[in-house]
């Protein structure tokens, strides 16, 4: 199972490209541009705030209300701003921000017979299509889905994903980019975790750090080979 933002694509690169796009769109309306930035920033802060609380109910509505209270904008304006600038506007930029080797790794895993799933903080179908990998996944789920309703590190999303995939926690791997969120959620769900990061390696008993999808592919290939040896399966 894979996280999306920051895991399947380089989030920093996308945000820089979107900052330029937003600035150009508001050259002649700087006050509107400033208001848009404030709303988007408050919406992201709401996500992090909701990670720390036990929220029951409509998670998307709660995040919208957080941004509305923080900025004074109506919930309708917040939602329209988020829909335009966070959901629709970035789609044509995602392909160029894809993590190197990501598509090849996913296709290789799919070809090997593994089930693939996505658990993202936000609805992910349009992003996966823009990245060219939408058809590779057996299950796509987000934190805002009614049956989840909580952000990671709460493990509920991972557990619901496992149910949809028909896979036991001991047979699953969750791949993310934030140890404090993704690895913590995986640990709580009893699932192994790999964190993709260009930063210095973190030696930790709860997760593996890899620098790229090429390295992830090599690690999984070695794991499969060792599993086959233990079961007496001849090498191919």
- Angle (CA) 187-217-228 rounded to 5° is 85
Tell whether the model's pLDDT for residue 13 goes beyond 90: yes
Q: Give the containing element (helix H, strand E) for 208.
A: strand 208-210
Tokens of 51: 């990670």
Reading the block at residue 62, the tokens are: 């709660």
> What average pLDDT does the segment 162-171 reach?
96
pLDDT of 25: 96
Can you tell me the distance from the alpha carbon of 235 to that of 228, in angstroms, rounded to the nearest whole number? 7
What pLDDT, on the 0 to 100 scale, is given for residue 203? 61
Q: What is the pLDDT of residue 224?
A: 72
Q: How confident is the model at residue 205 (pLDDT cuts 50, 70, 90)?
A: confident
Q: Residue 235 above 70 pLDDT?
A: no
| HSE, side-chain direction, 13 A CA sphere, residue 208 | 18
CB count within 10 Å of CB 165 equals: 18
User: What pLDDT is stored for residue 234 in this prediction?
Assistant: 47
DSSP 145: S
Q: Whole-prediction pTM value?
A: 0.90
**pLDDT of the residue at 201:** 61
Contact 22, 36 (CB under 8 A): yes
């Amino acid at each position: 199972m894979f996280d999306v933002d920051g895991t399947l694509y380089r989030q920093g690169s996308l945000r820089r490209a979107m900052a330029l796009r937003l600035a150009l769109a508001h050259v002649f309306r700087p006050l509107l541009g400033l208001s848009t930035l404030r709303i988007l920033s408050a919406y992201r802060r709401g996500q992090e705030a909701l990670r720390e609380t036990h929220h029951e109910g409509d998670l998307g509505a709660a995040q919208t209300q957080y941004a509305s209270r923080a900025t004074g904008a109506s919930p309708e304006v917040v939602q329209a701003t988020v829909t335009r600038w966070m959901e629709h506007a970035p789609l044509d930029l995602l392909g160029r921000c894809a993590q190197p080797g990501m598509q090849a790794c996913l296709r290789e895993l799919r070809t090997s017979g593994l089930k693939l799933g996505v658990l993202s903080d936000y609805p992910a179908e349009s992003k996966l299509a823009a990245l060219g990998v939408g058809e590779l996944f057996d299950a796509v789920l987000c934190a805002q889905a009614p049956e989840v309703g909580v952000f990671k590190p709460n493990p509920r999303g991972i557990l619901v994903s496992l149910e949809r995939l028909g896979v036991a926690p001991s047979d699953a791997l969750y791949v993310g980019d934030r140890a404090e969120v993704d690895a913590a959620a995986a640990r709580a769900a009893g699932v192994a975790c790999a964190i993709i990061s260009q930063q210095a390696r973190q030696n930790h008993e709860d997760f593996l750090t890899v620098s790229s999808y090429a390295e992830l592919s090599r690690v999984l290939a070695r794991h499969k080979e060792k599993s086959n040896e233990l079961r007496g399966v001849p090498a191919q």
